[in-house]
Amino acid sequence: MEKILVPIDGSSNSIRGLEKAIEFARNSNSSITLLHIATLPPVHVVGHAKDKVKISLAKKAQKFIQDAEDRCTNQNISFTTKIIYGYDPAYDIEQFTKKYKHDMIVIGAKGKSALKRLFLGSVSNYLVQTLKTPVTVVK
């Protein structure tokens, strides 16, 4: 195993997923890709330019992304960080995984989705059901 993808959204579950991925990476000398999907609101909801919305989303994510990077650095784990702006986190993670060929995905069971009360774990469930890449779901 060489590359582990870790979707992060600042939730406690995504941090637990990252901690498990760090453990896997340490044991297999793998690198980690920290992936944040900045979910764009529908165009008709937002009265601002798309670029301003992206800047706002990046600022909101900065703290937990920095925390995730620090956790990797403190454990001497090689990592890269990617931010994708999209509308459907599950689909965006799936496409990223297919494009960049990761050996494994480690994801928290539940994230910060606005619909989490209705669809608990919908992103992780979607990935488990659709990807050929092994997916480890951490509670």
Residue 20, helix vs strand vs coil: helix
Q: What angle do CA 110, 111, 112 make, to 5 degrees?
A: 140
CA dist., res. 51 & res. 12, Å (int): 28
> Which top CATH class is 3-138?
alpha beta
Domain ranges of the chain: 3-138
pLDDT tens, position by position, for the chain (139 residues)?
Answer: 799 999 999 999 999 999 999 999 999 999 999 999 998 877 655 556 777 888 888 888 999 999 999 999 999 999 999 999 998 999 999 999 999 999 999 999 875 554 444 444 688 889 999 999 999 999 8
Per DSSP, helices labelled H in 1-139 are: 12-28, 50-74, 89-100, 122-130
Predicted TM-score (pTM) of the model is: 0.87
Residues 8/14, Cβ–Cβ less than 8 Å = yes
